Structure 1
Amino acid sequence: MLSFAFVLILCFVGGTNVNAATSGEYTIKPGGSSNDVVNIDSGNYYITGTPGQTTEIKLLVVNKASQKRNFVFYASTAYTNDNGALSYDKLKVTDPSLKFQTRNAVTPKNSTFQVPGNTTATITLKVKVPEKKFDGTLMGGITVTPYKEKAKGTVSSNGNLIKNKFSYSIPIQIHQKGQSQEDAKYSVRYVRPGTMTTAKGQKQGVLANVHNSTNSYAGPLSAKAVVTKKGDKNFKITQTYDNQSIAPTANYNLGISWGNKPLQNGNYHLKLTYNTSGGIKSWVLNKDFTITNNDAAKYNKLAGIKPNYLWLYILLAILALAIILGLGIYLGKRNNNKNNNGGNGGQPTRRRRR
């Protein structure tokens, strides 16, 4: 559970009327105006300061409901989820290259607050540029969500009940004055069999763990994954992706679906290509990996693929046919031998007297 700090400044603009309601009946946006340290022109907090410098940012929370509501905000470090999107819903992000949690630059880190109906609340936060020098960009965000509210249910066109609880985030980027930008360094740490959720349900495939080891953000990327199997020139899996946003010093699992093909044991190779918008810059990543019999059976079963015993039936049929043919040949030779012995060269058989 979050330990909520109530140290914040709330400025309520009483009687602020809001027109059309949005999802969750509230919205958030940066407040104030841009200056030499904080730029909000893009709808995000873009902070550039000297090491150790502290600046203020303002967060506007607009309650579009007629009744007062309780909300909670929290600061977070950005990461990339397994859908390839930037996310801000973790209080702690783990990565072997991450040296500073952006969440720790924000004060207070989290708090609950109340907003009257049809009113806008202004929350003032402080952001401190890390004292230790760094190149590139630190990324994080401020997330706001209703506090202790039940999810509202809606009925979809097919009659299913869907419960929604909305949360919104505003990204934060922190730079140090005089420090250079960093180029992205992407790599595939490992590839493992697994299952993934697709438009057609759970599918078997592999998960490629893609890692960005630097404080760099290249924006939305397109990607193409090609999987081949060693010793099998006919095997090839190709999958393309849009809007893959890889956060600084972060890793995520890129799912590569096998589609209707079951997983099979063997040695494979992944070629993964990322491109910036317009193909101005690209990265080509290669990784060998192995699928074992046990893993193939496990994830095929989880995806609902039943084992294919056709090869066994064919083998049994061939074996049965071989047995029948062998038995026929044996019996045929045996009958021929009896007939030859019975003829005895055309001579009559003589009985022996006792």
Structure 2
Amino acid sequence: MILKREVQVLKPKVRFLFLISFIFTMITGLFGATNVRAATSGDYTIKPGGESNDVVNIDNGSYMVTGKPGQTAQLKLMVVNKASDTRNFIYYAATAYTNNNGTLSYDDTNVKDPSLKIQTKDALSPKKSIFKVPGNTTATITLNVTVPKKKFAGTLMGGVTIAPYKEKAKGSVSDNGTLIKNKFSYSIPVQIHQTGQPKVQPKYSVRTVKPGLVQTFKGRKQGVLANVHNSTNSYAGTLSAKAVVTKKGDKSFKITQNYSSQDIASTTNYDLSIPWGKKTLQSGNYHLKLTYKTDGGLKSWVLNKDFAITNNDAAKYNKLAGIKPNYLWLYILLGILALAIILGLGIYLGKRNNNKNNNGGDGNQPTRRRRR
């Protein structure tokens, strides 16, 4: 089960209301061997209902569907309202993708990727619905999943998401007086596999690397965004990653960034953020070496990509990150130039005075002509 938490923060002394979205993703046993427990945040839970059969397996807390092209099966989804009041919920089907935080996401976005041929959400019906659940009651909704008729290898990834419908976020006050408002939504993954079709291995690549602003604990800072692409219907589980950036012609330049968890969905692409740290962006030619590894390092993928940063882009994103230009080198140069001018002028004036003294030192004495 995927938990999506939206947090609103309001400080009492701030004049205007700022909306801050924070997505906290908790994956327990996703596509793995551990059963998923229903989460309880937001006073409701969801979980798969019914029993596993030849077409739909729910043993791991997700819907694993295997069937012939065009075959339809039912999915049971249980929604437990832990509040005492009747509540409205919204359901929608989703195609899985990887967001720019490197986590799996399931929403009603129409996922776009050059390798994506089938939207998983199109295999689910209804695609969206609103329903009521009385207080302290469990409701079961029935969904249909149809294995696409179009032939495909590997596994399609999607999900079903439940969220409160038109409810105000509940607030709590932190120790420093900050008002925190939370909204929760939950998703259960759906995998679809065609009977008789082989599994496929991930095929990762770095499409582009561009300078930009990247999110850090200190806010948005200068760095680069590497667009990572998986072109196959495959999922390798949670990966660790290591990015190493070097600069051509400068052996002293090196940036290393480690990532503990990256979930790359099938046929998806996302921007991996590589912060520049204390270094400012400088123009030049660079190289990115990006390494992904499975848990335990049993499998790994090494991706390489050359890229360039222009003077304009470096200046633009350094400025947007709040970095002020360092003119120390200019001040030093101007100081050296001024000192050179002063010294040169002093030497010139000194030589001119010496010349005058040598040429006119006896000028007050009359010149006598010698008689023969």
1:140-159 maps to which residues of 2 (within 5 A)? 140-159=158-177
Corresponding residue SS for 1:165: strand
Q: Determine if contact 1:21/1:64 at 8 Å carries over to the other structure.
A: no
1:100 paired with 2:125, answer no
Shift of 1:22: 2.7
- For residue 226 of structure 1, what is the aligned residue in structure 2? 244
Partners of 2:297 and 2:184 in 1: how far apart?
35
Q: Quick one: which of 357, 361, 370 aligns to 1:343?
A: 361
1:117-266 maps to which residues of 2 (within 5 A)? 117-266=135-284
Equivalent AA in structure 1 for residue 137 of structure 2: T
Q: Determine if contact 1:135/1:215 at 8 Å carries over to the other structure.
A: yes
Shift of 1:123: 0.5
Q: Quick one: which of 296, 305, 316 aligns to 2:323?
A: 305
Shift of 1:338: 1.1
Q: Determine if contact 2:39/2:45 at 8 Å carries over to the other structure.
A: no
Equivalent AA in structure 1 for residue 269 of structure 2: N
Q: Quick one: which of 97, 114, 123 aligns to 1:79?
A: 97
Q: Determine if contact 2:71/2:147 at 8 Å carries over to the other structure.
A: yes
Partners of 1:91 and 1:223 in 2: how far apart?
26
Query: Structure 2 vs 1, CA of residues 241 and 349 (structure 1 numbering), >3 Å: closer, same or farther?
Result: farther
Equivalent AA in structure 2 for residue 281 of structure 1: K
Partners of 1:37 and 1:157 in 2: how far apart?
51
Shift of 1:349: 4.3
Shift of 1:348: 2.5
- For residue 84 of structure 2, what is the aligned residue in structure 1? 66
Partner deviation per Cα, 1:158-209 (whole Å, 9 max, x = no partner): 2211221110000000001111001110000000111112112221100000
Partners of 2:238 and 2:283 in 1: how far apart?
34
- For residue 10 of structure 1, what is the aligned residue in structure 2? none
Partner deviation per Cα, 1:254-309 (whole Å, 9 max, x = no partner): 00000111111111110000011111111110111111111111111111111111
1:283 paired with 2:301, answer yes
Q: Quick one: which of 277, 287, 298 aligns to 1:269?
A: 287
1:46 paired with 2:52, answer no
Partners of 2:135 and 2:73 in 1: how far apart?
30
Partners of 2:276 and 2:39 in 1: how far apart?
42
Partners of 2:258 and 2:303 in 1: how far apart?
14
Partners of 2:366 and 2:126 in 1: how far apart?
118
- Give percent identity, aligned residues only: 76
Corresponding residue SS for 2:42: helix
Partners of 2:281 and 2:231 in 1: how far apart?
31
Shift of 1:157: 2.5
- For residue 6 of structure 2, what is the aligned residue in structure 1? none
Query: Structure 2 vs 1, CA of residues 207 and 123 (structure 1 numbering), >3 Å: closer, same or farther?
Result: same
Structure 1, unpaired ranges of 5+ = 1-19
Partners of 2:39 and 2:339 in 1: how far apart?
74
Q: RMSD over aligned Cα, in angstroms? A: 1.6
Equivalent AA in structure 1 for residue 68 of structure 2: T
Equivalent AA in structure 1 for residue 316 of structure 2: K
Equivalent AA in structure 1 for residue 325 of structure 2: P
Query: Structure 2 vs 1, CA of residues 129 and 268 (structure 1 numbering), >3 Å: closer, same or farther?
Result: same
Q: Determine if contact 2:92/2:108 at 8 Å carries over to the other structure.
A: no
Equivalent AA in structure 1 for residue 101 of structure 2: N
Point out 4+ residue stretches in structure 1 off by more than 2 angstroms: 346-351
Corresponding residue SS for 1:166: strand
Corresponding residue SS for 1:272: strand
Shift of 1:350: 5.2
Structure 2, unpaired ranges of 5+ = 1-37
Corresponding residue SS for 2:77: strand
Query: Structure 2 vs 1, CA of residues 339 and 133 (structure 1 numbering), >3 Å: closer, same or farther?
Result: same
Shift of 1:32: 0.6
Q: Quick one: which of 314, 319, 341 aligns to 1:296?
A: 314
Equivalent AA in structure 1 for residue 281 of structure 2: L
Corresponding residue SS for 1:123: strand
Equivalent AA in structure 2 for residue 301 of structure 1: K
Corresponding residue SS for 1:216: coil
Partners of 2:104 and 2:222 in 1: how far apart?
25
